[in-house]
Amino acid sequence: MGTYEQIIVRIASSDDEVYAYQITEEMAQSALKRGTGIARRSPEYICYKMREGKAIIAFTSSGRWVGFCYIETWSHGEFVANSGLIVDPDFRGLGVATAIKRRIFDLSRNLYPQAKIFGLTTGRAVMKINSELGYEPATYSELTQDPAFWAGCQSCVNFSILQSKDYKNCICTAMLYDPQLLNQEAEMESAIIVHY
């Protein structure tokens, strides 16, 4: 890539719809290269998320697309998923995924402060970022049981595994950020006095 341009990370809008096809193609190609599944999304769906203001996009100062992630809500806003994190291969290893993930996490917390934020991933880098944000490994039973969420897995190559395990386990690692649990833990820690 040579010299680095400034990379802008911000909330996506309808102005960014020109990137939707490129985003969905990179999502599919990346999953294929990794040999893992991903819930396939259409360019129209990505555009919808942009128009809703429930997506984060990264691009260079010259307008080249760099990365993307979007928010989905389940169980009437009780659960939020930060989905579809993708970075153009030319920009991987520069901290772009971390910047996007932090920004989508902050946006999720602002829009849905009481919601549990969760993710399913096979990616070690995403697991590391999630851990840094306060997510913890979780069982599938701790996630939303909304059938619409699980229906989104139908386009994944591993969907038959999920079905055979009665939606209780699959290839992806489940991770969960629970603000209520963190508040309880903080209260408990502040109530403990240690004397030496």
Domain annotation covers residue 194: no
Q: Examine the pLDDT at 185 and tell me if it is beyond 70.
A: no
Domain annotation covers residue 50: yes
Q: Which of 52-61, 117-126, 181-190 has the lowest mean pLDDT?
A: 181-190
Nearest to 146 by CA among 79, 85, 82: 79
Domain annotation covers residue 175: yes
Domain annotation covers residue 1: no
Tell me the average pLDDT of the chain: 89
pLDDT range class, residue 152, cuts 50, 70, 90:
confident
pLDDT range class, residue 156, cuts 50, 70, 90:
confident
Query: Contact, 86 vs 101, CB < 8 A?
Result: no
pLDDT range class, residue 31, cuts 50, 70, 90:
confident
Counted residue by residue, the chain has a size of 196
Domain annotation covers residue 75: yes
pLDDT value for 37: 58
pLDDT value for 121: 87
What's the order of all strands across the beta sheet hosting 65-74?
7-11, 55-60, 65-74, 79-87, 116-121, 173-177, 136-138
Q: β-strands 116-121, 79-87: how paired?
A: parallel
- CATH number for position 164: 3.40.630.30
pLDDT value for 122: 83
Q: Examine the pLDDT at 36 and tell me if it is beyond 70.
A: no
Domain annotation covers residue 2: no
Domain annotation covers residue 196: no
Q: Examine the pLDDT at 39 and tell me if it is beyond 90.
A: no
Residues 6+ apart with CB under 8 A from 153: 37, 39, 159, 162, 170
> From CA 29, how far away is CA 26, in angstroms rounded?
5
What's the total number of domains in the chain?
1
Domain annotation covers residue 195: no
List helix spans (H) across 43-95.
43-52
Q: Examine the pLDDT at 100 and tell me if it is beyond 80.
A: yes
Q: How far is CA 17 from the centre of its chain?
A: 19
Domain that holds residue 127: 7-189
CB atoms within 10 A of CB 112: 17
As a dihedral over the C-alpha atoms of residue 75, residue 172, residue 81, residue 106, rounded to 10 degrees, the angle is 150
Residues 6+ apart with CB under 8 A from 2: none
